Structure formats: C-alpha cells, structure tokens
C-alpha cells in the first residue's frame, strides 16, 4: 500500500486547532514553541484561544496551519515511529506546500514560519481590500473548462483566472472584483453555482505579482534542502526533489494555479498511491481525495486518537 501525506491550506483553520495534540504530546508542544519563538509572537495562544478574526488573518492563519501540520508529523515520528519517509510522496495545497516541505526536512520549521508570515503579509499588501475577489464554482457541471470560459468572460473588464482546480465540481476563480462578478454571471449561465469566498485578497492570480516578487527575494536567501520524500508541486502536478526547482516553484505558486486535481490524479495513476493521510487541521483534503480517487483510502490526522489509529494501521 503506497502512502502520500497531504497538507491542508488556508480555510482549514479553527480556534482550538492543535490544542489536544499539545496537551497529549511533547513533540507537538515543541513545534508550537519553535514557531512562537521564530515569529516573536504567541501564535500558539491565538490558535488555542482566538479570537477567530485574528486567527483568520492571512499572516496568522498560514504559519498556524503549518505549525499544526508539522506538530502532527513530528508526533507521528517521535511517539509512534512513523516518519515522513514512510510515504512515497508529500503534497500540500497552496500554503500547505510549505508545511509539506517543513515536514520533509527541506526547510527548517523556524524559517518556514517566517516565510509564511511574510507570505501572508505580502499577499495582503499586493491588492487593497475590496479590489479583488475569489469565487468557488460548484456543482456537477463545474470543471476547469467551464471555469476557464467564465474567467475568459470576466477578463473583458479585468484580471480573472482559474486559481484552484480542486476537484470536479469545485473550481475557484480569482481576480479583480468586477471581473470575478462578471465571471460569476457567466458561470451561472453555463450551469454552475457560484459562491463568493470570504477572503482578504485574490490569491493565485496575476494581481499577486507584488507578493511573488517579495517571496522571490525572501526565498533567494532561504536554505532549502532536498526533501526526505518527493514533493508533488502545485504548479506542475509532478514530483521533485530539486531544491532549486522547489525555490522557483514556491515563487510561481503565488500567482499560479493550484493544480490539486491533477496532482491527486498523478499520485494515484502514476505514483501508485492507494492511501492518503491529511496531516493537520480539518479534513478538506481528505474529502477532495475521496471525490478525485474514490478507490483510494483517505484519513484526516487531527486528534491524538487519529495518530494512534493510523500508526497501528501501518
């Protein structure tokens, strides 16, 4: 049985995430302390106690989600003897790619926390609040072709692109507010439902270029090693162990499409993966995995009991 670890992205955060791990396991507490020290911020208290609006801020949500994911992985390794190298591949959704790289030893936890804090701040700075938007196109007819047609219609009045190809029935568009509004109307004409997302900026579109430039500068000075397990990257939907390719693709993914459906299909069809374990907050990626690859097993690893059961099952 071939295994891949998945790492969730923004939107999976919730007040209280990671608290039971920290209470149960010293390795989880160590990760949260490392992140707090790296940021000079009591992020672990914000994760535990809220308030929710502060935790949801991009600059806090991104390092917080990474902290929970790495806490899961470090606990699995130290307490249950299950290291990241038990998996054939790792993959993370958007910011989750950083979590995957930290878990696989490619970037230190402290550096990852600082990079994600900057990434969140840079994304927020790139586009003034209210000028950009994202929308999820959902329903049986919602696929990449429909989303691209809707985005093309929106592009008549501004930037509008497909941002996240999550799975059949769930594709996200992103861009200037007026363009996304127009794209929503087109998507509805084509038979999809459309929901404006409650996000602070239009992620994964060309409007994020200022943030990509900031990340290029920051990543140029970051130490990136070959991961212990190959990373299936968002922008290529293919595996890599090359630190310089990873450095480049982390910049590209700020403005580029998250090719999640393609990544999952590659993992199953070419990578031979039959089991997915979602390390971190929530279970969004486990749900996507079951829709994309219904014959594969997908389990979320959130609570102490999840980790124990998963380790016993290997």
Residues composing the chain? 314
Active site residue 204: yes
Give the pLDDT score at 199.
Answer: 87
Q: Same domain, yes or no, for 141 and 164?
A: yes
* 72 touches 280 (CB < 8 A): yes
Q: Same domain, yes or no, for 179 and 52?
A: no
CATH code (residue 244):
3.40.366.10
How many distinct structural domains can be found in the chain? 2
* Catalytic residue from among 44, 99, 136, 204: 204
> Pairing between strand 170-176 and 273-279?
unpaired
Which spans in the chain are helix H? 19-24, 26-39, 43-49, 52-56, 58-80, 96-103, 109-126, 144-154, 177-189, 209-220, 243-255, 260-269, 284-292, 304-313
* Residue 188 CB partners (closer than 8 Å, separation 6+): 194
* 181 touches 156 (CB < 8 A): no
Domain that holds residue 240: 2-126+207-313
Q: Same domain, yes or no, for 144 and 26?
A: no
State the Cα angle at 6 between 5 and 8, rounded to 5°.
Answer: 150
Phi, psi of 240 (to 5 degrees): -150, 150
Q: Same domain, yes or no, for 30 and 118?
A: yes
Give the pLDDT score at 288.
Answer: 97
Q: Same domain, yes or no, for 192 and 295?
A: no
Cβ neighbours, 10 Å, residue 30: 17
Return the residue matching tokens 């696989």.
104
Q: Same domain, yes or no, for 9 and 122?
A: yes
Give the pLDDT score at 200.
Answer: 83
* Catalytic residue from among 94, 142, 200, 286: 94
**Boundary (domain end) residue, out of 199, 222, 250:** 199
Q: Same domain, yes or no, for 92 and 112?
A: yes
* Residue 72 CB partners (closer than 8 Å, separation 6+): 21, 28, 279, 280, 301, 302, 307
Q: Same domain, yes or no, for 182 and 56?
A: no
Q: Same domain, yes or no, for 45 and 151?
A: no
Q: Which two tokens stand for residue 288?
A: 């996507």
Q: Same domain, yes or no, for 227 and 121?
A: yes
Q: Same domain, yes or no, for 31 and 120?
A: yes
Q: Same domain, yes or no, for 109 and 230?
A: yes
Instruction: Tell me the pLDDT of the chain (314 aa) as tens digits.
Output: 799 999 999 989 999 999 999 999 999 999 999 999 999 999 999 999 999 999 999 999 999 999 999 999 999 999 999 999 999 999 999 999 999 999 999 999 999 999 999 999 999 999 998 999 999 999 999 999 999 999 999 999 999 999 999 999 999 999 999 999 999 999 999 999 999 998 889 999 999 999 999 999 999 999 999 999 999 999 999 999 999 999 999 999 999 999 999 999 999 999 999 999 999 999 999 999 999 999 999 999 999 999 999 999 99
**Boundary (domain end) residue, out of 144, 174, 199:** 199
**Boundary (domain end) residue, out of 199, 224, 244:** 199
What span, in angstroms and rounded, lies between the C-alpha atoms of 122 and 56? 16
Active site residue 93: no
């Amino acid at each position: 049985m071939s295994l891949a670890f998945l790492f969730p992205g923004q939107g999976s955060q919730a007040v209280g995430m990671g608290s039971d791990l920290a209470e149960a396991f010293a390795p989880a507490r160590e990760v949260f302390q490392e992140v707090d020290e790296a940021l000079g911020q009591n992020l672990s208290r914000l994760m535990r106690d809220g308030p929710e609006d502060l935790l949801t801020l991009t600059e806090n949500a991104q390092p917080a989600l990474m902290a929970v994911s790495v806490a899961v992985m470090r606990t699995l390794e130290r307490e249950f003897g299950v290291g990241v190298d038990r998996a054939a591949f790792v993959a993370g959704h958007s910011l989750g790619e950083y979590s995957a790289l930290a878990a696989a030893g490619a970037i230190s936890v402290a550096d990852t926390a600082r990079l994600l804090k900057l990434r969140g701040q840079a994304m927020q700075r790139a586009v003034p609040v209210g000028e950009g938007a994202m929308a999820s196109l959902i329903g049986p007819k919602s696929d990449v072709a429909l989303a691209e047609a809707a985005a093309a219609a929106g592009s008549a009045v501004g930037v509008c692109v497909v941002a996240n190809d999550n799975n059949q029935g769930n594709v996200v568009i992103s861009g200037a507010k007026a363009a996304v509004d127009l794209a929503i109307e087109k998507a509805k004409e084509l038979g999809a439902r459309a929901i404006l997302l409650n996000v602070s900026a239009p992620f994964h579109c060309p409007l994020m270029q200022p943030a990509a430039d900031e990340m290029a500068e920051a990543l140029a000075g970051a130490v990136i090693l070959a991961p212990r397990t190959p990373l299936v990257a968002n922008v290529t939907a293919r595996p890599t162990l090359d630190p310089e390719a990873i450095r480049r693709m982390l910049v590209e993914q700020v403005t580029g499409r998250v090719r999640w459906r393609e990544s999952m299909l590659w993992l199953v069809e070419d990578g031979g993966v039959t089991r997915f374990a979602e390390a971190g907050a929530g279970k969004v990626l486990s749900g996507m995995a079951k829709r994309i690859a219904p014959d594969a097993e997908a389990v979320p690893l959130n609570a102490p009991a999840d980790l124990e059961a998963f380790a016993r099952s290997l």
